[in-house]
Amino acid sequence: MSEPFIKATGLTKSFLKGKQEIVPIKDISFQVNSGEFISLMGPSGSGKTTLLNLIAGIDYPTEGTLLIGSQPIHEMSREELTKWRSLHVGYIFQLYHLMPVLTAFENIELPLLLHNLSRAERREKVESALNQVGLSDRQNHFPKELSGGQEQRVAIARALVTQPSLIVADEPTGDLDRDSADEILNLLEDLSAKENKTIVMVTHDPKAAQKATRCLEIEKGKLITKPGLEI
């Protein structure tokens, strides 16, 4: 049997706020296979985004181990982690985080500027990502000229353009109407099922969570199990 793509063991994250120790997540362990689409659910302040940021290599755990693609993320230096993240992780935000003065094409191209690629190579990758999200005809449009759903598809294309193995999404449908949200969820579902992308998505929306192959629920910094909830 192959090793899981994500293997978290005893993850704890704590920090000091004044003299008080805050522990957003405590002793969390789980595994995710390559190509799985996982949703993280829980009330505000439960630790979902903290866990997502650990998985994305944006932050370090205080205790525990985290292996992604067999790489010990918890042991990497800041420089190593930044390089690893640029090669292997695509991040999708709730509010898109597009540059308003750049076209869709230019927004998607931004992550590639960190890599040693020619202009022609960058164009090829951007056009491929635009095609994946169905926006080839909108590449020269600015964000203000796009609908919310189209802006989020640009953000997804930006996350895909470096061809990462892991996609993390923080409330990717939270600012969208139901129809646009369904389009985005169907796109994420296809990326998992058809392109073997491993996706970890934070959401408050039960309908969004149902699109995932598995749901992990967090409460007060710990994974919990409820009837009908598979962990």
Helix H, strand E, coil C: the string for the chain is CCCCCEEEEEEEEEEEECCEEEEEEEEEEEEECCCCEEEEECCCCCCHHHHHHHHCCCCCCCEEEEEECCEEHHHCCHHHHHHHHHHHEEEECCCCCCCCCCCHHHHHHHHHHHCCCCHHHHHHHHHHHHHHCCCHHHCCCCHHHCCHHHHHHHHHHHHHCCCCCEEEEECCCCCCCHHHHHHHHHHHHHHHHHHCCEEEEECCCHHHHHCCCEEEEEECCEEECCCCCCC
The two tokens of residue 139 are: 């590449």
Locate tokens 């997502």: which residue? 52
Contact 224, 218 (CB under 8 A): yes
Report how far apart, in Å, the C-alpha atoms of 156 and of each of 24, 41, 73, 166, 191 are: 27, 21, 24, 12, 10
Residue entry with tokens 């009837």: 227
Helix 148-160 / helix 119-132 crossing angle, nearest 10 deg: 130
Mean pLDDT by 10 residues, the chain (231 residues): 85 88 91 94 89 92 93 92 90 87 95 90 94 92 93 92 93 86 90 93 90 91 62 41
Which pLDDT belongs to residue 127? 95
The highest-level CATH class for domain 6-224 is alpha beta
Taking the whole predicted model, whether its pTM rises above 0.85 is answered as yes
- What per-residue confidence (pLDDT) applies to 40? 93
> What per-residue confidence (pLDDT) applies to 89?
94
4-17 burial, b for 16+ CB within 10 Å, e for fewer? bbbbbbebbbeeee
Q: What pLDDT shows up at residue 225?
A: 59
Per-domain boundaries in the chain: 6-224
